[in-house]
């Protein structure tokens, strides 16, 4: 039971983190920022 609940919490946290992050992968985003700056 606790394993199931922890898995749900991890999935929920991952989905929230994905929403906060931009859809662009970190490497491409870093390259884009370097070019802009």
Task: Say if pTM beats, i.e. exceeds, 0.85.
Answer: no
- Those residues whose C-beta lies under 8 Å from the C-beta of residue 29, and which sit 6 or more positions away, are 22
- What span, in angstroms and rounded, lies between the C-alpha atoms of 10 and 33? 30
Looking at per-residue pLDDT, the higher value among 3 and 20 belongs to 3
Query: What pLDDT sits at residue 7?
Result: 92
Enter the tokens of residue 28: 């491409």
pLDDT of residue 29 exceeding 60, the answer is no
């Amino acid at each position: 039971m606790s394993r199931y609940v922890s898995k749900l919490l991890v999935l929920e946290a991952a989905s929230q983190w994905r929403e906060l992050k931009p859809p662009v992968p970190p490497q491409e985003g870093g390259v884009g920022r370097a070019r802009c700056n």
